Structure 1
Amino acid sequence: MARRVFASDRLPLAERYTELLATEGVVRGLIGPREAPRLWERHVLNSAVLAEAVPESSTVCDIGTGAGLPGLVLAIARPDLQLTLVEPLLRRTTFLDEVVAELGLDHVRVVRARAKELHGASTFDVVTSRAVAPLERLLGWSMPLVAPTGALVAMKGSSVRDEIDEARAFLDRWRCAPPEVLEAGVDVVDPPTTLVRVSWADPSRIGWPLARTSERRRDRRNHRAVKREVS
């Protein structure tokens, strides 16, 4: 199955990363010992199929990446992407830096921070995450990082539709488009990976609070310019 999601020249990198997860990852408390025997099926392949939902040559931000799931796996599978891995804990970012250096992943940047620390400073074509938080909270952390024509693409479980229902008011207030529930890795992983994709309803009218503040400032400037022209 691994050969269906990793090209022949990328598979050795995926194998080495999985080996590091099973050894250093366990020793450093990044992966539970019971997870080591099932890393491929439960974690690596499950993350790799996310690539199906990421457009070519995208900039991608993986928030709360932990030991690199799914962001580092995505970087191994897709060298055409520019990846930013965001993680607040030093022991995790140290591990990520070491893996990135060993595997020669020069299209990956590791940032020790919380997602909200990047708000207003950076945006990305795709913002990913895996088992980080319920959708409403995840939207608050992720959507400020989503470019006007980009999307949040989060790995979710079987309760994703309930999470969407609970986040309706938030989605409306932030001017998000209706979420899409997707299945990735059909015939590759069992069960397939469930994804939720959220984009902006209108790329010209971003809804998160700082964006609305900027929008109001722009509108006031335009209004003053019109008044000057009329006078």
Structure 2
Amino acid sequence: MNAGPLPPSVAPRLASGLEALGIDPAARDPLLAYLALLARWNRTYNLTAVRDPLEMVDRHLLDSLAMQPFAAPLVATGGRLADLGTGPGLPGIPLAIACPGLRVTLVESNGKKARFLREAVRQLGLEHVDVAETRIEALDRPGGFAAITARALATIPLILQLGGHLLEPAGRLLAMKGVYPQEELDALPAGWRTVESHRLQVPGLDAERHLVVVARDGTG
């Protein structure tokens, strides 16, 4: 299934957002190719409720890329990122494009979404990205990841319950949230603690966004 054309206003909208986020403009074209593929598949397979490509730029691409500064250090260390319940590849695919060399595993149990992910990885030539078509708790890679992330998936305690086993001893959960999730952090399971939190600014979105970092007790 080939990607179709995007409205002409999409490219400058994305370029402006990348500049605001301080991301290499070389990421624009592969991000546009991903967006075109997503928009085309979405017409048939309903991969996301957001259907307008311009809206996808803000709510999918730029929203995902706002956490790029927290994923980029994994490239230097060779650590792998697991994107749990990734859906159509968010934030994992935009992050892999914006951070060349970032090793990402896209975890998705829905068959049609997993098929799209494999096609996107193939068409975009994302050599360091693999797709795990499985439920999060069934992924048999204990301690295999330096970081896990999830976007609009579940509460932080539930994410840890389902995917905490995937983290190496000093690994981090990079949780993407809207408003600051104080109640969720108050309910962290035993053995986990909040390391830091950051308010994110997403170009084109007038809504709160936070990145919360959670780690095991006793880790630096």
- Structure 1-normalised TM-score? 0.78
Q: Mark the CA change 1:187 to 1:2 in structure 2 (over 3 Å): closer, same or farther.
A: closer
The corresponding residue for 1:101 is 122
CA contact (8 A) 2:150 2:175 kept: yes
The corresponding residue for 2:152 is 131
- Structure 2-normalised TM-score? 0.81
**Structure 1 residue 193, shift from structure 2 partner:** 3.1
* 1:177 matched to 2:193: yes
* 1:43 matched to 2:60: yes
What's the secondary structure of 2:104's corresponding residue?
strand
CA contact (8 A) 1:184 1:194 kept: yes
Alignment of 1:39-188 (within 5 A): 39-54=56-71, 55-57=73-75, 58-119=79-140, 121-165=142-186, 167-168=187-188, 170=189, 173=190, 175-185=191-201
Identical counterparts, % of pairs: 32
Alignment of 1:24-43 (within 5 A): 24-32=41-49, 34-43=51-60
Which of the pair is proportionally richer in helix? 1
The corresponding residue for 2:33 is 16
1: CA distance, partners of 2:219 / 2:154: 25
**Structure 1 residue 164, shift from structure 2 partner:** 1.3
Q: Mark the CA change 1:88 to 1:12 in structure 2 (over 3 Å): closer, same or farther.
A: same
Residues 23-43 of structure 1: per-residue CA shift (max 9 Å, x gap): 212321102254544001111
**Structure 1 residue 108, shift from structure 2 partner:** 0.3
**Structure 1 residue 202, shift from structure 2 partner:** 1.9
Between Structure 1 and Structure 2, whose CA radius of gyration is higher?
A: 1
**Structure 1 residue 91, shift from structure 2 partner:** 0.4
What's the secondary structure of 1:65's corresponding residue?
coil
- Letter aligned with residue 94 of structure 1: R
CA contact (8 A) 1:180 1:198 kept: yes
1: CA distance, partners of 2:58 / 2:107: 24
CA contact (8 A) 2:83 2:107 kept: yes
2: CA distance, partners of 1:199 / 1:119: 20
| Number of residue-to-residue matches in the alignment | 199
The corresponding residue for 1:2 is 17
Supply the RMSD in Å over aligned alpha carbons: 2.2
CA contact (8 A) 1:52 1:184 kept: no
**Structure 1 residue 50, shift from structure 2 partner:** 1.1
**Structure 1 residue 190, shift from structure 2 partner:** 4.4
What's the secondary structure of 1:88's corresponding residue?
coil
CA contact (8 A) 2:50 2:56 kept: no
**Structure 1 residue 138, shift from structure 2 partner:** 1.2
Name segments (4+ residues, structure 1) moved above 6 Å.
none
CA contact (8 A) 2:142 2:168 kept: no
Unpaired segments ≥5 residues, structure 1: 205-231
CA contact (8 A) 1:49 1:193 kept: no
